[in-house]
Structure 1
Amino acid sequence: MPRPSDEFHRIKRLPPYVFAEVNRLKAACRADGMDIIDFGMGNPDQDTPAHIVEKLVETVKRPRTHRYSASRGIPGLRRAQAAYYQRRFGVDLDPETEVVATLGSKEGLANLAMAITAPGDVVLTPSPSYPIHPYGFIIAGGALRHIPVAGGAFNPEQYLRDVENACIHTVPAPTALVVNFPSNPTAQVCDLDFYVELVRLAKRHDIWLLSDLAYAEIYFDETPPPSILQVPGAKDIAVEFTSLSKTYSMPGWRMGFAVGNPRLVGALARIKSYLDYGAFTPVQVAAAAALNGPQDCIGEIRALYKGRRDVLVDAMTRAGWEIPSPPATMFAWAPVPEPFRALGSMAFSKILLQEAAVAVAPGIGFGEYGEGYVRLGLVENEQRIRQAARGVKKLLSDPQAALERHHASLPRAAE
């Protein structure tokens, strides 16, 4: 039995929060009066479309909606999500058995991990990855094997070979694989042919597929990202998570979905029935209005991110920092500039913050294969992006001077 002085078991399994040090330094710089241009967190800065807000206000005025809601989502919301999948992907879903509303995709992923993971189960997760992908299973008592998906364009053949190898050589055999395209943090994308091969592989090795499609509508090429459920037979083994946070600029509303395999959806719904009563009913009604209402706002939000992406890539390239142009998501995944590469992403992030007043997320915070990169969120307006580029240009014009100023705090390997 743990004593009060002992660390709790699940807390011990979680590593120190890598972003905490950057956040602490960011707060200190702001306290000193610095104007920080913050690309660190993927927190949309646009207003939620007016018709969605108006539906919330209209609904919240009805006292009956102030009661406990439905944990799995009100029927109208689940029907709206099923209609979205039919409209967008041509996928038929049963709103009663194949759709469950979640408090954002993050909560859904974490609670599904609790529902399906026994102590010691091995789950395959990408690295680098959105932290809940691996740590949801760590919290649930599982073990991990990472599938590397580092920088550059996605290589589906190599990825499938790595997954096949992991399925063959991992003991005990993996129970599930998490996939995330378009990817946070790398912004990599895949096509439907890749999903066809992945479903075949998963069926061959008898593993679940858990697809995170939170950035389904934030894409900049002509071809929209596919759903894994478009593959015939995918519902036999796959569940997919989506979110309204980025699609409709609703991050604080905490509304998402898990759809697909009835057994997985049912397991998540059962776990949730013990943990929550669902989102506030007016939020769910407004979310249904978002899905059922005019969709022009999606294109407007997408265009805003595309404009910021283009300005970021152009301005930083002119400043001397070549950032690959992301084909999707609200993030750019950028290699650490060569003069600072030996320091690692954490030390570079600190120097960038103190010298250029620019905050980014160090790649190491997304897993071991994230080292050497930083993530920039497209959450500042174009004027602020250009201002950030001026700070970066100044830093890169004399990197040695910056290194000397920060010599005492640098990792030993970089000295």
Structure 2
Amino acid sequence: MNILLKSAKIVHAPAKDIHLKKRDILIKNGVIVKIAASIEPPAKTKVFEYENLHVSVGWLDTGVCFGEPGYEERETISNGLATAAKSGFTDIILNPNTNPLPDNSGQIIFFKNASEGHLTNLHPLGNLTVSSKGENLAELYDMKNAGAVGFYDYKHSLANSNLLKIALQYAQNFDGLVHSFPMDNKIAGKGIVNEGEISTRMGLKGIPSLAEELQISRDLFILEYTGGKLHIPTISSAGSVKLISNAKKKGLDVTCSVALHNLYFDDNALKEFDANFKMLPPLRTKADVKALIKGVENGTIDFVSADHTPLNVELKHVEFDNAEYGTIGLESAFGIMNQLFGLEKAIELLSKGRERYGIKIPVLKEGEQANLTLFAPETSYVMKNEHISSSSKNSVFLGEKLKGKVLGTIGNNQILFC
């Protein structure tokens, strides 16, 4: 693959000499061989030009679901990775949300083998406990050696405090990253949306933010006792932001993420009983959204994830109470983040996370492998079904105006133009 990117504005803050400057970029056999103000295309080189072309290092999402194995009707690994590539992502962290669940090294090897040969790299999480039941630790060390980048019982909170303590202590022996979903199930009860005025008006059982904050408080106390590395995925409340901020000031090794939809919507979106807006954690109040955005901006919240969860129509087009939790978000991630945070902050957020998960960090300079995302940040459009590449179409962003369009991705000596 030989390609020349013409007059591309580079968004790569670590490289001060080329950041926000227009340059030609010549790539041969997957390697960046030259970056200059003007480059004449060598023979047998494809030239890519686009008005307002921008380029950054390839993006990462820290929380993606597919379906295979077991739920191929939701999404296959192959189409899921193709969707990620079309959405600008050259790396994704895959949540353990399959059947069977990946609680052993064999399942991790399956994911690694099934994702070979794709432009986008798949980095699997293994289960923290066997079958996500919260009773016995899974084969953490063996899964780490097989390629797992962390351990997580996806959307299942760990009720056994001692088991979390043991997991954090044990994982330190091999630099393992433990995830803990922030939800106290006893407090949450049978709630399905945020507890508040909206849930009362709609007659739906609520999940108070206390359920999340109580669990986070417990986890942080345990982390302070044990040491180790803890990641808290998809927080949703102002109180959670404050708890994690205080923990970081203490020097605890904790990171957290927030789902894209929890930054964009509040619980007023539930008024139409559209089951696509049924999420876990639920959409919270306007005040929570404001605190979450501030937490992203000041660095308390480390990562923004699409929390991409494909669900086939039978799981969503049902009564709100009976619908499954989740929405897809990869295709709309850039358009929403660019709108919320502006270009430079959006690219910073989309590029973050690899160090935490032990993934090689791409560098945009001569002599390095090309791991790039191409985009036009000023292009606006309304999200429609035709913009969805996922097998499942359960998107809360349908009908929303997005700012920014992905033009292509380059990685693993492959290129995709959208």
TM-score (norm 1): 0.32
Greater relative CO (CA pairs within 8 A, separation 6+): 1
Q: Which has the higher strand share?
A: 2
What is the TM-score with the length of structure 2 in the denominator? Answer: 0.31
Decide which structure has greater helix share.
1
